[in-house]
Amino acid sequence: MTVSLHHCPAPAKLNLFLHVIGRRPDGYHLLQSVFQLIDRCDMLHFDLRADGRIVRTTDVPGVPEEQDLIVRALRLLADEFQRRHGRAVPGIDVAVDKILPMGGGLGGGSSDAATALMAANQLWQAGLSADELMALGLPLGADIPFFIFGQTAFVEGVGEAMQPVAGPDCWYVVIEPGVSVPTPAIFGAVDLTRDTKPVTISDFSRDQSAQNELGGFGKNDLQAVAVRLFPPVAQAVEWLGSYGQARMTGSGACVFCAVSSESKADEVVAQVPAAWKAWKAKALARHPLKSLLQNRAVV
Ligand code: C5P
């Protein structure tokens, strides 16, 4: 995987479990989840400009430039730069090789935005800390802070409270059931379970150390709603379930299953019905850009 400040992978995540334990007065849900990065990535390419503009140079079907989380995040960073340094940013061109599906529960849009924030923070020498970048990104997407955190995490709150946790070092099979799931429709459903009993980080860690990672700790509370509203998600869970514990990630639509080896992943992917896209992925310990920057004081 080529990684530089000009060519950055933006990795996907899987929610190994996702519990909804309450709801804030503003309607956002209080979650508990373990987020695991995987080595399936969008690729972002950056070039500095001299005219202060932020320009997306590739077309992303279904996402106009003005609505793109990358562009919106970079504009927030440019505003913050102006406040701190009293001058405008040089500007930036961003090209996107879009691999991760939209409405897939893999966090692709948030990962792109988080990766762009980290890269531009360096390229512009904006000087924000990781915590400051996370606070900047949170209003745009609840998953953005996690991707800036950049390693397996036990995540709480609406997505802003993170603790590092050892994730399983395993392979996954992921199915894209061919539907795009709108996150607000899942969180807004009347039948969503919102009162799952809170767990602790050590409950998850104990389960992992018992070598139980292929079985899967906890559940995904969003799954029952998504399988009701989107039958292809239900079909993918049922199909993959014959190879292990199949679970939806995020608010769907993608469904995954942990497997013991790369060859087992290849074997399962080869069996997946042609109507669905499927691929193998390996758990990733750190965001590739964080690894590149790990010796620097700021991300
Ligand atoms: O912030 P993000 O784009 O991930 O969220 C999309 C929508 O999902 C929000 O507008 C909200 O309706 C819902 N959501 C929620 N609680 C969360 C995260 C998202 O209710 N913790």
Calculate how far, in angstroms, residue 143's C-alpha sits from the geometric centre of ligand 1: 9
Return the H-helix or E-strand segment holding 272. none
Ligand 1: list residues with CB < 6 Å: 28-29, 31, 141-143, 158-159, 183-184, 187
The closest residue, in CA terms, to atom 15 on ligand 1 is 28
Q: What is the pTM of this model?
A: 0.96
Query: Which atom, in ligand 1's list, is nearest to the CA of 158?
Result: 21
Q: Of 147, 98, 16, 101, which Cα lies nearest the Cα of 278?
A: 101
**pLDDT of the residue at 295:** 56
Tens digits of residue pLDDT in 216-255? 899 999 999 999 999 999 999 999 999 999 999 999 999 9
What separation in Å is there between the alpha carbon of 120 and the centre of ligand 1? 25
Question: Residues at the annotated binding site for ATP?
Answer: 101-111
Residue 103 Cα to ligand 1 midpoint, Å, equals 12
Q: What is the pLDDT of residue 186?
A: 98
Sign of the CA dihedral running 14, 190, 181, 140: negative
* Domains annotated on the chain, with CATH: 7-165 (3.30.230.10), 171-284 (3.30.70.890)
User: What ipTM goes with this model?
Assistant: 0.95
The pLDDT of residue 209? 77
Could you give the 3-state DSSP secondary structure of residue 47?
strand
On the 0-12 / 13-18 / 19+ scale of CB atoms within 10 A, 107 is: buried
Positions of the chain with pLDDT lower than 70, given as ranges: 1, 211-213, 295-299
